[in-house]
Structure 1
Amino acid sequence: MSDPRSLTETRPYRRISHAAGLVTIGAIYFGLAKGGLALASIHPSATPIWPPTGVALAAVLLWGYRTWPAIFVAAMIANATTAGSIGTAIAIATGNSLEAVVGAYLINRWSNGCHTFSSPNSVAIFAVICVVIATPISASIGLISLAIAGYIEPTYFVDAWITWWLGDVTGALVIAPVIVLWASSHHQALNRHDFFETCGVLATAATVGLVAFSPLIEQTPGRDPLGFLAILPMLWAALRRGPRDTATVALLLAGITIWGTLTGGGPFTTADRNASFLLLLMFLISITLPSLLLSADVEVRKNAEDGLRRAHINLERKVAERTQELELANAAKSRFLAMASHDLRQPLHALGLFVAQLRTPLKSEEMTKTIERVDATRKEMDEMFNSLLDMSKLDAGMLVPQTTEFPIARLLQKIETTFDQATREKGLRLRVKRTAACVRSDAMLLERILLNLVSNAVRYTLRGGILVGCRRRGEMLRIEVWDTGPGIPEEQKQNIFGEFFQVPGTERNRSGGLGLGLAIVDRLRLLLDHQIDLASTLGRGSRFAVVVPVIDACVTTTPPADSPHPGAFAVKDKAVLVIADTPIVQEGTGGLLDKWGYSVLTAGSDEAALIRLAQRQQRPDLIISDYHLARGKTGIRVVEELSAVFGSSIPAILISGDTTAEPLRDAKNRGFILLHKPVDPMRLRAAMHELFRDRDGRRETGAAL
């Protein structure tokens, strides 16, 4: 808030500054007016040299309409002390003030105001306003008042009006541009080259003026054509130096030619001094106005070229930046493929060794142990593929947070259930401290963050344990994951959230994984706008903390009942159609479902499926199909065609190795379940039971109705 005392102190200063400005403008106007009136010959109040018009017009353009009182007072005093009466002086001052105010108003409205000299069109409009509208006001009001008061003979009225008008026109076209351009371009700094070129233009103009117009050289008939040399510095300024220097050269030439004509030198000198000055005015107008138009046109072209040059430079910079980004992306992609290929080959290599062991005679306990290792390796590969799938979804922008309010206890319970067996197998102790706090976040994405953090802790912790707990800090809840692992070096703390990064350690610390867990955590916390804190000490362990908004209470719902044991579902009468264009997938899926007790039909295409179904004369209760099939067909299209054949919708589960957004979106829009390869058998079994339970529930509801 502004200090009232400072405002009180500022207002008098502004008033004094404004008054001083008005006095300065008035003094300049008065001095130029007295000098111009001293050159009048046809009538004491009608002079061909009238610089005050340019000063007044520039003052109103630059400092606003409030400058008119200074113009009015100065013009009245100048005319009252020269000729006529107080009444005619007031009338002439009124015309001079209106000339400046009307001219400035029209220039502001039609010709960009102080920027009127920035384009040829606006310069032309400026000239029309000055010549046709503004200056006739002063000449007409002044001479009419003098004629009414009897201070001018009617026979001299037209000559006096033309003299008065041309004097005002020249003042407006020669004086006003110089003042406006220099006052409005003070921020432009000249470099050394521009400074010397400007000095060269002005020196050339002064030399030409002295040679062609000054009384220092004897006036002869052969000297008259030298006046045309004045166009050379004007063209130089217009083509090279812009409107400001062009107007300055015009003013310099005007001063020299007026001095020369007044003292009897130059080509415009005649026996009649008023006629000499009128010739001079026409010369000044004829070289000044075209030069201003040309300089404005050149300036526009230069600005356009500069704009194109800057745009070209920016385009080149953006192309270079984009090229660098693409190069980095290609390098990252190559690194991605190399790292993924290396880490995925590890469990595949192990699987090959385990399969080789299974081909040899094994004891019962050895067989069981080898099968457990095969399953563990499969789970490791499944975790790797899930990480790749998560990164793919994040990169594609497929994950959209669904913020809700829920008790954090649900996630903590799932953490404990998920990692209880894994920690016991490694000889670690897992402690999860429950809390009744409710938070605001996306439950699924926050769960993924915590699962990744705890999984990372379990992977790198060899002894001790993992602690998961919560601390409330004001309106935020810190969900902390502590471990007694090897810790993270200080220089690596910023790198651990990068893709494929794993903290260097001993060989026994090296375990399966792609090094994407914390990268996924970082992407998800940015998506949720959550903060993550890290503290770690080498040899003592690490602590990750996720900071989420906490609420006082949330609407609790009855937790869903646990899914019944698979054996509780009757599967003997359930017919399942498996469609896959790869025989090994048909055999694997069909054999597993057969072991689970389902009646299974397998086919490689929709045509083969129709033949098998026709042979059995049976409608399938469920279709499990690959998303991508042969000849460009999709599982969705096949399921819809089979449903149309049987006249009703058939539940379906789609299996896809495509992690792009399109398969997931298509399946969701049609109400199908989509599972990504490799599919965990238990996940497939749970999805099947979910579909059968929903269908059986709808049937029971329909029967009850």
Structure 2
Amino acid sequence: MRCVIRSKSSSSERTIGTASAALRLLTVAAAYYLAGGLGLIRGVSVHGAIVTPLWPPTGIALGALLFLGLRAWPGIALGSLSVIATLSDSVSLLTVVVVAGNTLAPVCSYLILRRAGFRRELDRLRDGVVLVFLGALAGMVVSATVGTCMLVVDDNLPLSGFWPVWTAWWSGDATGVLVVTPLLLVLRTVRMPRATDRWIEASALAVASVAVSLVATRTSLAMIYLVFPLIIWAALRFRLAGSAPCAFLVSVLAVVAGTQGVGPFEGHSILHVMVNLAVFNGSVALTALLLAAVVTEQSNIRLRIQRACEELAEVVERLAPGRSPGRWPSRPDDEPDGL
């Protein structure tokens, strides 16, 4: 009788586990599809190929892999297939290969990050460097190369347009990782704000970010780099929780202005705009990630030193009862006069 009960229980647990895994994959696919729809709103044509200055699905895909591991790849493939299906009438070899490239690129980025010892907390400088240069810039070479090569092989792109399309494809995918993935890593640690939080400063930063970003991306004057003091402010005071949303806001407004051809992007060709957006958004993401990581790392080092000093003070107290070590370590004003 016990064997029958255990068998039924195990079967139920397997069913629940399978349903839960399927739900996770469908959630990843749905998020990828929705992000793709948003990205295509600002799609532009380069030599007949539809590319975007910011492709959010790559950030969604890498974030899903960082949270769920390699078992998230079927959801990424399904989401990519759904997005491409909205652009073509039928599924062809080109579609299958592009879906494979879009899936393989974030998987390669994930494996590289795991090999490099990347931590999702982004609390070390090396984590920011690895995410930027290996996860985004290096990993997205795969999707850009596979997709552009297939366009050429399928006679949908002349050979002379290979590098312009490849550059636009790669920069859009890399920017998606740089802008969206850190935001997802921040959202996983979201908590209800407390009364002791810096409400006034956070509100001032939010208002200033929107106002300055709109002015910088809409005026014809060369003022777009006014956003960097805001990103520095966000990183120094609020770390990744402040710099990631700020970088996301700035990048989105810059992409909107670039695709509309207004502000500092007025009068330039599509390829020129794409290159400028790639450089700008890359600089924004690099500043936000690395500075926030440095501030977090330094804060963690101070906390570890403080805990070590407190433990040492407890040891001294046990070895010499009644002789309190006082403040530890001593500060410069504790030294005798004349030293």
How high is the TM-score relative to the length of structure 2? Answer: 0.84
Post-superposition offset of 1:250: 0.4
Is structure 2 residue 163 aligned with structure 1 residue 126? no
Distance in structure 2 (CA, Å) of the matches to 1:28 and 1:10: 27
- Output one character per residue of 1:398-441: Cα deviation in whole Å (capped at 9) or x when no partner: xxxxxxxxxxxxxxxxxxxxxxxxxxxxxxxxxxxxxxxxxxxx
> 99, 109, 134: which is aligned to 1:103?
109
Match of 1:193 in 2: 197
Paired with 1:253 and 1:49, the residues of 2 have a C-alpha distance of: 12
Residue correspondence of structure 1 range 238-253 to structure 2 within 5 A: 238-253=235-250
More helix by share: 2
What is the 5 A alignment of 1:654-669?
Answer: none
Shift of 1:150: 1.1
Encode CA deviations 1:322-357: one digit per residue, 9 max, x unaligned: 554679xxxxxxxxxxxxxxxxxxxxxxxxxxxxxx
Q: Distance in 1 between matches of 2:72 and 2:184?
A: 15
Matched, 1:10 2:16: no
311 and 21 in structure 1: CA distance in 2 versus 1, 3 angstrom threshold: same
Alignment of 1:20-169 (within 5 A): 20-38=23-41, 39-42=43-46, 43-83=48-88, 86-115=92-121, 117-169=122-174
- Once the two structures are TM-superposed, the CA of residue 310 in structure 1 deviates from its matched residue by 2.7
* Larger Rg belongs to: 1
**1:289: Cα distance to partner?**
0.5
In structure 2, the CA distance between the partners of 1:301 and 1:113, relative to structure 1 (3 Å rule), is: closer
Q: Corresponding residue for 1:208?
A: 212
Deviations 1:452-479 (A, max 9, x none): xxxxxxxxxxxxxxxxxxxxxxxxxxxx
**In structure 2, do the counterparts of structure 1 residues 152 and 190 end up closer, same or farther at CA, with 3 Å as the change threshold?**
farther
Match of 1:289 among 283, 286, 289: 286
Paired positions, count? 318
Candidates 310, 314, 322, aligned match of 1:313: 310
How far off its partner does 1:13 sit?
A: 2.3
Q: Percent identity?
A: 25
* Preserved CA contact (<8 Å) 2:183 2:245: yes
Q: Distance in 2 between matches of 1:189 and 1:108?
A: 32
Structure-1 residue corresponding to 2:334: none
For each residue in 1:58-84, what CA deviation from the matched residue of structure 2 results, as whole angstroms up to 9, or x when unmatched?
111111111111111221232233148
Q: Is the 8 A contact 2:53 2:255 kept in 1?
A: no
1:262-661 equivalences in 2 (<5 Å): 262-320=259-317, 322-324=319-321
Identify the range of structure 1 (33-42 vs 236-245) with the bigger mean alpha-carbon deviation.
33-42
Distance 2:204 2:312 in 1: 37
Q: SS at 1:192's partner residue?
A: coil
CA RMSD of aligned residues (A): 2.7
**Aligned amino acid, residue 114 of structure 2:** N
Asked which structure has the greater RCO (Cα within 8 Å, sep 6+), the reply is 2
The answer to whether the Cα contact below 8 Å between 1:261 and 1:268 also exists between their aligned partners in 2 is: yes
| Counterpart residue identity of residue 30, structure 2 | A
How do 1:210-225 residues align onto structure 2 when only pairs under 5 Å count? 210-214=214-218, 219-220=219-220, 224-225=221-222
User: How far does residue 237 in structure 1 lie from its aligned partner after superposition?
Assistant: 1.6
Unaligned runs of 5+ in 2: 325-339
CA deviation after TM superposition for structure 1 residue 195, in Å: 4.7
CA change 1:294–1:73 in 2 (3 A) is same
> What CA distance in whole angstroms lies between the structure 2 residues aligned with 1:114 and 1:291?
16
Instruction: Give 1:91 shift.
Output: 0.6
User: Is the deviation greater in 317-326 or in 88-97?
Assistant: 317-326
Q: Could you tell me which amino acid in structure 2 is paired with residue 242 of structure 1?
A: R
Unaligned runs of 5+ in 1: 328-705
Q: Structure 1 residues 167, 326: closer, same or farther in 2, change over 3 A?
A: closer
SS at match of 2:77: helix
- Is the Cα contact below 8 Å between 2:209 and 2:246 reproduced in 1? yes
Q: Is the 8 A contact 1:46 1:161 kept in 2?
A: no
Structure 2 residue matching 1:193: 3-state secondary structure: coil
Find the aligned partners of 1:143 and 1:265 in 2 and give their Cα distance.
28
Q: Distance in 2 between matches of 1:308 and 1:29?
A: 43
1:187, CA displacement in angstroms?
A: 6.6
Deviation at 1:249, TM superposition (A): 1.0
